[in-house]
Amino acid sequence: MKMKAAKILLLLVCLKAFCYAAQASKSSDSDEWEGEFFTEIPKIKYEGRSSKNPLAFKWYNAEEEVLGKKMKDWFRFSVAFWHTFRGTGGDPFGAPTKHWPWEDGTNSLKMAKRRMRANFEFIDKLGVDFWCFHDRDIAPDGLTLEEANQNLDEAVALAQELQTKNKKKVLWGTAQLFMHSRYMHGGATSSELEVYAYAAAQVKKAMEVTHYLGGENYVFWGGREGYQSLLNTDMERELNHLATFLQAAVRHKKKIGFNGTLLIEPKPQEPTKHQYDWDAATTANFLRKYGLTEEFKLNIECNHATLSGHSCHHELETARINGMLGNIDANTGDPQVGWDTDQFLIDIPEATMIMLTVIKNGGIAPGGFNFDAKLRRESTDVEDLFIAHIVGMDTMARGLKNAAKLIEDGSLAELVRKRYQSFDTKLGAQIENGEADFELLEKKVKEMDEPYVASAKQELAELIFQSAL
């Protein structure tokens, strides 16, 4: 009897040990992960504005038509891999606060694959069609470029498999040319030739994997492309190098048959004191000078707009009227904080102004709205990842419906038309067509009375705008 009991006890111990081993295997190898990452989260559905469910859309109804186009097609929402799956909550003053259950504390290739699986489950449950990535966020760096490329190839192979299975797409990819110490002086604008060459090789590979994954755009963000002091900087040479780098990127794009749009993302500073792509106007001027306007459009990030002293609406309109509006990074900053906080955009008036420009532009496809936004440091529950995106998507949906209301009402457009109606005359047409020289205008002034200057009716414009919110 004692022998039998001992055997049973030994069997139980072995069974328990086997279970621990199985769990350890599951947590250490992403290819062995089974089941769901977000077990408590259902697929997010539209329940309407009366819903009290935090895990449901109140305004974003993907299939609802607004101005002849489905909501999902106006937005083409995308999840940013780096903030959603690599964001830790750490800051210069504190350690990471987010410890997701699938993380094992490493940056191994196995861990990268597990994050990739979590990413596709997330975007599938959220109900968006696109995702964005940096090369070094989806796969670990290597001791050599060859090792880094091999790691990236493995991660991308899994991403392609999961994309096909889940019917998802890459909105855009990019190379991370700002984290590694080799890029402390920049990549394309580095004073070191070897760094310039390494950056080119990294971008070459990132463009190729973006193309392989069917990416619809490729982004250049020059976080280190700029200067700290002009005393030790040859700005003209650096700008020439940057242009040469982008021209080479265009050639490689054509060589590999990549039909996606090349995008530049303006930002004034941070991490570099002065970045060369300061704002939309500066970037547009740079592209014109170097003959790149036919090859590039702009990826406007709202938080970057405010850092440069503009509104997001201003930057979007600047890009639009220059024919360069390509994509929007939907986020915002905190007016009390002077840095790039990458918060989810929840301001309905701002969302409405953004959508007024997008509608004027006829949409932004093949671009979209990428949530380049992160949870607050203090938000540490898995469900917070979903809630943040839900609120962001609902906010943009409200902005779209408000903008459509303003356009269909027509009062705001009529106010603007009336303000410039003095140019809807024969002389106005001559001026706008470049046919009125100073002599003609001087002659006309002598025939006129003192000019009448009408009210701008700003308060009325604001009243009309507010009535749609």
What are the tens digits of pLDDT across the range 364-416? 999 999 999 999 999 999 999 999 999 999 999 999 999 999 999 999 999 99
Cα-flanking dihedrals φ and ψ of residue 92, to 5°? -60, -15
**Total length of the chain:** 469
* Tens of pLDDT, residues 303-341: 999 999 999 999 999 999 999 999 999 999 998 888 889
* Residue 297 bridge partners (DSSP): 263
* Tens of pLDDT, residues 46-91: 999 999 999 999 999 999 999 999 999 999 999 999 999 999 999 8
Burial of 402 (0-12, 13-18, 19+ CB in 10 A): buried
Please give the average per-residue pLDDT across 31-49, as a whole number: 87
Which single residue is written with the structure tokens 């002077």?
A: 338
Separation CA 403–CA 410 (nearest Å)? 11
- 7, pLDDT greater than 50: no
Q: Are 326 and 297 in contact (CB under 8 A)?
A: yes
Residue 178's pLDDT is: 95
Q: Are 279 and 349 in contact (CB under 8 A)?
A: no
* Tens of pLDDT, residues 129-157: 999 999 999 999 999 999 999 999 999 99
Angle between the N-to-C axes of helices 458-467 and 411-419, in degrees from 0 to 180, rounded to the nearest 10? 160
**Amino acid identity for residue 134 in this structure:** H
Residue 16's pLDDT is: 35
Detail the DSSP E strand segments found in 240-338.
Answer: 261-264, 274-275, 296-301, 325-329
Q: Are 122 and 40 in contact (CB under 8 A)?
A: no
* Residue 306 bridge partners (DSSP): none
- 12, pLDDT greater than 80: no
**Amino acid identity for residue 135 in this structure:** D
Using DSSP's 3-state secondary structure scheme, residue 30 falls into helix
Residue 34's pLDDT is: 67
Residue 460's pLDDT is: 97
Residue 339's pLDDT is: 84
**Alpha carbons within 13 A on the beta-carbon side of 24:** 6
**Amino acid identity for residue 12 in this structure:** L
* Tens of pLDDT, residues 217-252: 999 999 999 999 999 999 999 999 999 999 999 999
User: Percentage of residues in the chain with pLDDT exceeding 90?
Assistant: 90
User: What's the distance, Cα to Cα, between the start and end of the chain in Å?
Assistant: 80
DSSP letter string over 102-123? T--S---HHHHHHHHHHHHHHH
Specify the long-range contacts of residues 45-54, CB closer than 8 Å, at least 24 apart. Answer: 45/127, 54/383, 54/387, 54/390
- 174 sits in which H/E element: strand 169-174
Angle at 376 between CA 27 and CA 100, to 5 degrees: 5
Provide the annotated active-site residues.
134
Residue 338's pLDDT is: 81
Q: Sign of torsion, CA 408 414 420 422? A: positive
Report pTM. Answer: 0.90
Separation CA 146–CA 153 (nearest Å)? 10
Residue 31's pLDDT is: 52
Q: Are 304 and 270 in contact (CB under 8 A)?
A: no
Domains annotated for the chain, with CATH where assigned, are 32-409 (3.20.20.150), 412-467 (no CATH)
* Tens of pLDDT, residues 262-309: 999 999 999 999 999 999 999 999 999 999 999 999 999 999 999 999
Query: Pairing between strand 69-70 and 65-66?
Result: antiparallel
Please give the average per-residue pLDDT across 164-177, as a whole number: 97
DSSP designation for 422 = G
Separation CA 151–CA 30 (nearest Å)? 14
Residue 46's pLDDT is: 98
Q: How confident is the model at residue 33 (pLDDT cuts 50, 70, 90)?
A: low
Separation CA 40–CA 242 (nearest Å)? 47
